[in-house]
Amino acid sequence: MFTEFDEFLLTCGYFKIRNWNIDSAEVISIDSGHYWIIKKFDKEGYPGLVLYHSHDGRLYHVHFCYKDQDIAPAVSEIMSHDRYQKKKLKLRNRITKVSNRELMMAL
């Protein structure tokens, strides 16, 4: 069920492929190290796609659902999530380098 363009998006170097079958792909984002499952489905003539997310590769939760089977929006969502994680990490590192006194003076 994956198109040639879908395969290109998953193998272009942004992901490490963990598992792949006819209607789903499990990948690891190289930027964040997070695990994702992109699962296509067709329920009673209604095609769709579910994007699952995990930090450890064992416990997944639904991250987003789509009304068609195009994986480009899911790949874009993963990239956006990675950018958010990077910004959050930079902010966390910056905050932890501030002393309690400096933090209280800033408030």
pLDDT at 30 over 70: yes
Report pLDDT for 97.
64
* Least trusted range by pLDDT, from 18-27, 51-60, 83-92: 83-92
pLDDT at 99 over 90: no
Question: pTM of the predicted model, to two decimals?
Answer: 0.82
Helices (H), the chain: 4-11, 72-96, 100-106
Question: 62-77: per-residue pLDDT in tens?
Answer: 999 999 999 999 999 9
Q: How far apart are CA 53 and CA 61, in angstroms?
A: 5
Confidence class for position 103, pLDDT limits 50, 70, 90: low
Average pLDDT (50-62) is: 95
Nearest to 49 by CA among 61, 31, 37: 37
Identify whether the C-beta of residue 21 lies closer than 8 Å to the C-beta of residue 60: no
